[in-house]
Amino acid sequence: MKKLFFLAVTMMAAVATSAKMSYTVEIDTVGKYLNVKLQYVASEKGQQKVELQMPIWAPGYYDVLNYPKYVTDFKATKTNGTALTWSKYRKSTWIVNMAGADTILVSYRTYANVMDVANSRIRPEGAFIAGNGTFMYEQGHKYEPVEVSYIIPDNWKYVSTGLKVEKGTKCKFIVPDFDILYDSPILFGNHFVEKFAHNGHEYEFAFDPGDDYEGSTFKKDFIAMVDAATEIMKEVPYDNYCIINMEGVGGGLEHLNSQADYSSGRFTTKSRADYIRELDFIAHEYFHLYNVKRIRPIELGPFDYSQEPFTPLLWFSEGFTSYYSAQMLRRGKIITTEELLGIYSRYIHDIEIYEGHKHMTLRQSSYDIWLDFMGDKGNHRDVAFSYYNKGSYMGLLFDAKIRTTTKNEHSLDDFMRLLYNRYYKELQRGFTEEEFWQALQEIMGTTQEATDATALLRRYVDTTDDIDYDALLNPIGIVLNHETWQLSLMEKPSKQVAKMRKALIGE
């Protein structure tokens, strides 16, 4: 392996080297197909075969998507047009007999008509391209440069992505490796585009339709969220960042330096509550560029795209990201303290009013997401729950417990920065489950009280024990109504408690 995926510090910059895998993709707006052509140069002299594999899932989208089901008309030839034999192996691998050829040509079509952030979708006026279901990689050679060129209709004006377009071209990219290619969706078409700079970094809004963006406060609010996240993590880990936001059924997916979302596509026609939910949603995908893309369980990269990666820590990766998305809104002075508590209250309410939390642990939910991604089985709420919800308010409980145990010397921010600096930057890898808890113990301290605090939080993750909310929240000056599951501020807290509470919720 030449490098680890999460150390992609080049951040989508062009790679000045020739690629042995060169793709050309023609977009068929009538049939809604991506017509894919690959020129493949042999990895070694006299190579007799090549195994080409397409992913079955997309990082950040914890469902088996089976991208090969959309592939049709697979063909392989020598450069002179002589047909080569090939065979399918299992569901996601094509084995081509190269017959000693130095270079071969492969072509196939893949259907692209799914309104989903992990799938491609073609329309007459534009196309959203998700790389996982478009490009095949060579087994054992994912970490090599790949060249991609798109052929698009002449009347499409914009190409929006976190990737850098090759100079002098409209739609050509040279990408460091397949992990980054799969992590870089593209929106083509005539959508709304705004580009701007902020604190030395380049940003692009790519909104489809975006017809009511101008006159909204979204840009100001987004910058405030970015600044809040930067203050939390003390670093901006990209050169450029792109938001692709399309009107549709909902859903978002995080990437190293971009996010792709389907939402209402509206910025000024929402109620305040709806607008806050929209901002919280976008902030969630943004904070993932720290938590998941860089701070990550060890199972989440380097990736095996042929099978789902099971980890016991998705409740942290997703839930704590939801905790921090609301924190970004509060620290950016976009929402009030009451609105912040309202967000966390909804998470608690949506868990406590159903039976699921009595039958599934938070840890188990990280595994079982692969069985019921959207929670659509009839008895889901009776026997299971969303780790987004419970994981989010566990972030609140972790933050409160760290502050009270360390007398406000440390917070959850310190824990996140410890994971970021130690495992992403220094050790250049993800962390194991035990290393996660050891890091929490390190933040808590070496006293018996600190050890007990760490053990308590782990028990709430690993068991279905009822959470003693009062014992965790009252010392931080927050009260929970056990009938409505609404959080509120404790009246007349001590000065020390008031100081901790202010640091946590920004009152």
Distances, alpha carbon 349 to alpha carbons 301, 385, 387, in Å = 34, 12, 13
Q: Which of 190, 215, 232 is the last residue of a domain?
A: 190
pLDDT > 90? residue 17: no
- H/E run at residue 284: helix 272-287
pTM of structure: 0.95
Examine the domain organization and report whether 66 and 172 are in the same domain. Answer: yes
Q: Does 13 map to a domain? A: no
Domain with 239, as residue range(s), is: 195-289
CA–CA dist 34, 310 (Å, integer)? 31
Nearest to 146 by CA among 3, 7, 9, 18: 18
Examine the domain organization and report whether 66 and 209 are in the same domain. Answer: no
Examine the domain organization and report whether 88 and 169 are in the same domain. Answer: yes
Q: Which residue has the tokens 């090969």?
A: 68
In tens, the pLDDT along 208-267 reads: 999 999 989 999 999 999 999 999 999 999 999 999 999 998 899 999 999 999 998 788
Examine the domain organization and report whether 416 and 336 are in the same domain. Answer: yes
Q: Which of 138, 160, 190 is the last residue of a domain?
A: 190
What is the model's pLDDT at position 2?
Answer: 35
CA–CA dist 115, 122 (Å, integer)? 9
CATH of the domain at 361: 1.10.390.10
Examine the domain organization and report whether 158 and 50 are in the same domain. Answer: yes
Examine the domain organization and report whether 29 and 171 are in the same domain. Answer: yes
In tens, the pLDDT along 458-495 reads: 999 999 999 999 999 999 999 999 999 999 999 999 99
Examine the domain organization and report whether 101 and 60 are in the same domain. Answer: yes
Q: Which of 143, 166, 190 is the last residue of a domain?
A: 190
What is the model's pLDDT at position 462?
Answer: 98
Domains in the chain: how many in total? 3
Examine the domain organization and report whether 99 and 37 are in the same domain. Answer: yes
What is the model's pLDDT at position 387?
Answer: 95
- Give the angle 362-368-374 at the CA atoms, nearest 5°: 100
pLDDT > 90? residue 193: yes
In tens, the pLDDT along 341-395 reads: 999 999 999 999 999 999 999 999 999 999 998 787 889 999 999 999 999 999 9
Given a contact cutoff of 8 angstroms between Cβ atoms, the answer to whether 22 and 38 are in contact is yes
Distances, alpha carbon 71 to alpha carbons 19, 128, 221, 505, in Å = 24, 17, 41, 50
pLDDT > 80? residue 94: yes
Mean pLDDT score across all residues of the chain: 94
Q: Does 12 map to a domain? A: no
In tens, the pLDDT along 127-157 reads: 999 999 999 999 889 999 999 999 999 999 9
Examine the domain organization and report whether 145 and 273 are in the same domain. Answer: no
Examine the domain organization and report whether 453 and 494 are in the same domain. Answer: yes
Distances, alpha carbon 91 to alpha carbons 36, 69, 82, 86, 88, in Å = 19, 8, 26, 14, 7
CATH of the domain at 98: 2.60.40.3650
Examine the domain organization and report whether 269 and 316 are in the same domain. Answer: no
pLDDT > 70? residue 86: yes
Distances, alpha carbon 72 to alpha carbons 94, 147, 235, in Å = 12, 22, 44
* Residue at 298: amino acid letter: I
Examine the domain organization and report whether 122 and 255 are in the same domain. Answer: no
